[in-house]
A = this chain, B = another copy of it.
């Protein structure tokens, strides 16, 4: 039996993007699969009072520098998008709608959307961009456009955000392995040791 790892992220989080490029391969080395769970950081920040990194005094300018340096450190392409951060409910709704039919397609959509935003500077807050990204993977554009406005799909994303909050997810990325939570892409070395040793 493969025990899954839960990977929570917001589509507008650079560190979430970095983790998305690493976590599947790390998990696979230890015979694990990953369950991707996009959520809305904004919903969490409403509860916790936290604010988006770039808006914070002193920490904001550092963060932009750290995003770019961390990308180079991890061997990833990344440039801070022109519009940053942005609202990501369209991308997250698309993910969960796809996920009901085809989990692998949903994951590939998420990866493509993250790269569209963080590599190609396409504004994924726009429904049109989300539709373009999905269509490039063969998704039915009209069906997805309808889904983005579907109350059931909206409710599904709200339920996923509530479940994430219930579990203690307060930032992106947030990885849970057998109940143990790891916040931040900088916890990758701890994640690897945890998977290797079963806990330390």
Contact = CB atoms under 8 A, between A and B. Distances in A.
A48 B57 contact: yes
Interface string A57-85: 11101100110011011000000000000
A177 to B, nearest CB: 12
The SS class assigned to the A binding surface is helix
A59 B48 contact: yes
Copies of this chain in its oligomeric complex? 2
Interface of A: 44, 47-50, 56-59, 61-62, 65-66, 69-70, 72-73, 165, 168-171, 181, 183-184, 186-187, 189-190, 193, 200
B59 A181 contact: no
Given A181-B65, A186-B186, A189-B189, A200 B72 contact: yes
Given A181-B65, A184-B186, A187-B186, A168 B73 contact: no
A195 to B, nearest CB: 13
A73 B200 contact: yes
Contacts of A73: 189-190, 193, 200
A190 B74 CA distance: 10
A56 B168 CA distance: 12
A168 B200 contact: no
Given A73-B193, A200-B72, A171 B59 contact: yes
Nearest to A65: B181
